[in-house]
């Protein structure tokens, strides 16, 4: 078990063996772990949101146009 990871069968077996309180505590630990990870990534999200909205909008628009063009070309050749 490297890094505390277990395979799916062991995981299912361990979950089914837990009583109600044990399952609640396990779930609470998992949620807390995920919340801690999300909180540490918040600074990256804030730095992304602080960028110019105009630049992000232009970049998103260009990406959408390129994506639509690729899909159109694929549909054109796939229909023939």
Residues 6 or more apart in contact with residue 73 via CB below 8 angstroms: none
For the record, the structure tokens of 14 come out as 């361990």
Q: What is the pLDDT of residues 47-64, one digit of tens each?
A: 666 667 788 888 899 999
DSSP 36-72: HHHHHHHHHHHHHHTS-HHHHHHHHHHHHHHHHHHHH
The mean pLDDT value of the chain amounts to 79
d(CA 67, CA 60) in angstroms, rounded, equals 10
d(CA 70, CA 76) in angstroms, rounded, equals 10
Higher pLDDT: 77 or 45? It is 77
Q: What is the pLDDT of residues 65-78, one digit of tens each?
A: 999 999 999 999 88
For the record, the structure tokens of 24 come out as 């609640």
Label residue 1 by pLDDT band (50, 70, 90): very low
Whole-model pTM above 0.85? Answer: no
């Amino acid at each position: 078990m490297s890094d505390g990871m277990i395979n799916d069968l062991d995981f299912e077996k361990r979950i089914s063996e837990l009583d109600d309180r044990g399952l609640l505590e396990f779930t609470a630990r998992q949620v807390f772990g995920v919340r801690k990870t999300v909180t540490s990534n918040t600074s990256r999200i804030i730095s992304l949101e602080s960028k110019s909205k105009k630049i992000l909008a232009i970049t998103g628009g260009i990406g959408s146009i390129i994506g639509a063009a690729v899909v159109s070309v694929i549909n054109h050749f796939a229909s023939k």
